[in-house]
Structure 1
Amino acid sequence: MRPRLFGSLIGASIAAFSLAPQTVGASMLENQLISAAETGDPDKVKALLKEGASIEARDASGATALLAATHENRVDAARALIEAGADVNAKDKIQDSPYLYAGARGHLDILKLTLANGADLKSTNRYGGTALIPAAERGHVETVKTLIEAGIDVDHVNRLGWTALLEAIILGSGGEKHIEIVRLLIKAGADVNLADGEGVSPLTHARQRGYGKIERLLADAGAR
């Protein structure tokens, strides 16, 4: 029995060894794919995909190659990955996806690519917010306009109890970009009386911060 057992162990070891180069090779390809996406090399991305690199491979943070490209706003690499079928809604460990990150950071070209290729407008980030909410907060006017035109819910409430309108006021600067975002949200039908979790209205927040132009926009839209 012992010789048989020894032989079985040897056979298993040889089989495992024979598989190891393939596993390592695949990992190397996928690491190279993520690196090529991050540095913005679409030709390398395409070549690695042809060699068999998994398009949905993830790094230690859970980011796919497409999310890595989105982090650095590498439009051509992102386009190559999306055209090859990359999932624009694939989330990393902190619940960012290419679509959500592009929206939050104002990476407009990549955002438009994700919207044209299956972006889930209802998907939410780790704060329970849609892409529109951080875009409004950070003053990304064209991003807000693009998301509104795509049909996103302008009155979605995140876990903080805030809508895009509230975040534009509470976390915005009160400057021209945030004034324009408030105007866009009102035009899109945002509820100007939808208060935060403590019952404080957008108008009250604007008034408390001395944002006169925003206050007038809200009042003209029926805010109380």
Structure 2
Amino acid sequence: MPSDALRDFLTEHGFGPDEVNGRNGDGATPLMVAARRATAALAQELLDAGADLDAENADGNQALWLACVTENIETIELLIAAGIDVQHVNATGATPLMFAASSGRARAVARLLAAGADPLFETGLGLTALDMASTFECLSLMRAAAKRPAAGG
């Protein structure tokens, strides 16, 4: 049974009070909205209530991408620990790491790299997150990660 805080959150964002896998006009689920606008505790409650970790919005983004928008590190870590795909590719061929790097979100970049996100994964146009780095800090983090030997290699 959802807590009062979760029911209030769901209602405030246009979902039914028990609709943990509902969709809004952008195709976002409550978990996606929580990843961007709420606490990790609320995101955890949604996961505990059966929220779909793999759901995608209209742009093909999952909750991890939206947590990166606000650099909600606690939620990023929660989603990674829950098993979200750090290498998920959205409708435009981009990964959460590409977004974080291109928008200068170094704390998100560091956490995604620590979780195994690939700085050298290429889009259909041949661009990588390393190519997209918009700040020196993001570039430095990804250069260091790109130089590390691959896991198991």
TM-score (norm 2): 0.81
Indicate the residue corresponding to 2:114 in structure 1.
Answer: 187
Could you tell me how far 1:108 is from its partner in structure 2? 2.5
5 Å matches for 1:69-148?
69=12, 71=13, 81=17, 86-148=18-80
Q: Structure 2 residue aligned with 1:203, among 116, 121, 130?
A: 130
Amino acid of the residue matched to residue 191 of structure 1?
Answer: D
TM-score (norm 1): 0.57
Identity %: 33
Question: Structure 1: any 5+ residue segments left out of the alignment?
Answer: 1-41, 46-64, 73-77
Could you tell me how far 1:164 is from its partner in structure 2? 0.5
Amino acid of the residue matched to residue 166 of structure 1?
Answer: M
SS of the equivalent of 2:146 reads coil
Q: Structure 2 residue aligned with 1:221, among 142, 145, 151?
A: 145
Deviation string for 1:7-51 (max 9, x for gaps)? xxxxxxxxxxxxxxxxxxxxxxxxxxxxxxxxxxx4xx8xxxxxx
Distance 1:160 1:105 in 2: 23
What number of residue pairs does the alignment pair up?
Answer: 141
RMSD, matched Cα: 2.3
Change (3 A) 1:93 1:205: closer
Moved beyond 6 Å, runs of 4+: none
Amino acid of the residue matched to residue 119 of structure 1?
Answer: A
Could you tell me how far 1:216 is from its partner in structure 2? 1.6
Amino acid of the residue matched to residue 29 of structure 2?
Answer: S
Question: Structure 2: any 5+ residue segments left out of the alignment?
Answer: 148-153
